[in-house]
Amino acid sequence: MMRSSWSAGPADIGIREVDDPVLVNPDDVIVDVRYAAICGSDLWPYRGLLPRHEPGSTGHEFLGVVSEVGETVSGFQVGDAVIAPFMYSDGICPECRRGLQSQCARGGLWGRDGVGAQTERIRVPFADTTLVALPWADAEIDDALAMRLLPLADVFATGYHGAVLAGVGPGDVVVVVGDGAVGLSAAIAAGMLGAGRVVLMGGNPQRLRVAAARGIETLRVFPTDVGAERLAEAFGDLIVDRVIEAVGMQAAFDTALDVVRVGGSVGFVGVPHGVDAIAPMRLFSKAVHLAGGTAPARHYLERFVAETRAGRLDVSVLIDRMLPFDAIKDGYEAMDTGESLKVVLRIR
């Protein structure tokens, strides 16, 4: 038996003993999880905004060490340290071959299409095309390194993908709508892609201070504000080339489409919730390019790990709390209230 997170409904999160996973298919591996993160999207069912189909384990960001290997797995062996993207994928379908692993018909999301990652052990299907080997030994992975690595599996990949979808390039003026971990990631990524100026809009002073410490311009907005008006008040006639929408709510979409320049582009990676259908003329009249979708984290993950190893990428700023697995309820509550930006759980 092992310990796993468990939720049966809103505001219900805890740990229970469940059966150990076993190899099912020859391309599976079993991973002993060392660290797992809590994601902002985990809060949707926790808050009752999305239903859980049935009680079960939670989470989709983890790293650990391989403990069992299926007979056809060629890229991993017992003892390898690995990190997983937030979705598994077969690596051979047309979408995977085009770098869109998040659209794999045989793939899935941990905690939705399979067991959750906030657990002591997990079965990984399609191991060779899902997992990424870490260039550190298991014994080298400590709290500090886990804080640098885990955001790469989801939130940083998602923010980076938002910047790619928006077409961010050298010299662009970029506005990011949303100051959660994905929005902060998008702002950092825009700088990596050469943006000349990046403005992060959000309502949490602590998160805006984190962004400012990274050299990102910030603008605090309140729920009653009209985003485009606040931006104009603060920055005058700023010409915004690219916008990254990282919230998924109506006000954020409205702000993104209102502030982008004629002929500009908007990338949206906040999962839409309660957003009205967009009238085609709203895009047509400004010649705006709009693109969105789930980030293919696996497509980016090897590069992000290599950049982290080389010391050129450090996104540990996105993690502000490390807790033992037994304190999972405290972690969810801290993120639900906004007290924490992103929490990592020390599983073993």
pLDDT tens, position by position, 82-120:
999 999 999 999 999 999 999 999 999 999 998 999 999
pLDDT band at 273 (very low <50, low <70, confident <90, very high): confident
pLDDT at 321 over 90: yes
pLDDT mean over 134-155: 97
| Alpha-carbon span 6 to 14, nearest angstrom | 5
Mean pLDDT score across all residues of the chain: 95
C-alpha dist (Å) from residue 318 to 186, 226, 239, 294, 309: 11, 27, 28, 20, 18
pLDDT mean over 310-326: 97
| Alpha-carbon span 48 to 51, nearest angstrom | 6
pLDDT band at 173 (very low <50, low <70, confident <90, very high): very high
pLDDT digits (tens, 9 = 90+) for 214-269: 999 999 999 889 999 999 999 999 999 999 999 999 999 999 999 999 999 999 99
| Alpha-carbon span 190 to 184, nearest angstrom | 10
Domains of the chain: 2-154+296-346 (3.90.180.10), 156-292 (3.40.50.720)
pLDDT at 53 over 70: no
pLDDT mean over 282-296: 96
pLDDT band at 59 (very low <50, low <70, confident <90, very high): very high
Whether 43 contacts 343, CB under 8 Å: no
Q: Determine whether 293 is exposed, middle or buried from the number of CB atoms within 10 Å of its CB (0-12, 13-18, 19+).
A: middle
Tell how far CA 271 is from the center of its chain.
Answer: 11
Residue 221 tokens read as 């907005």
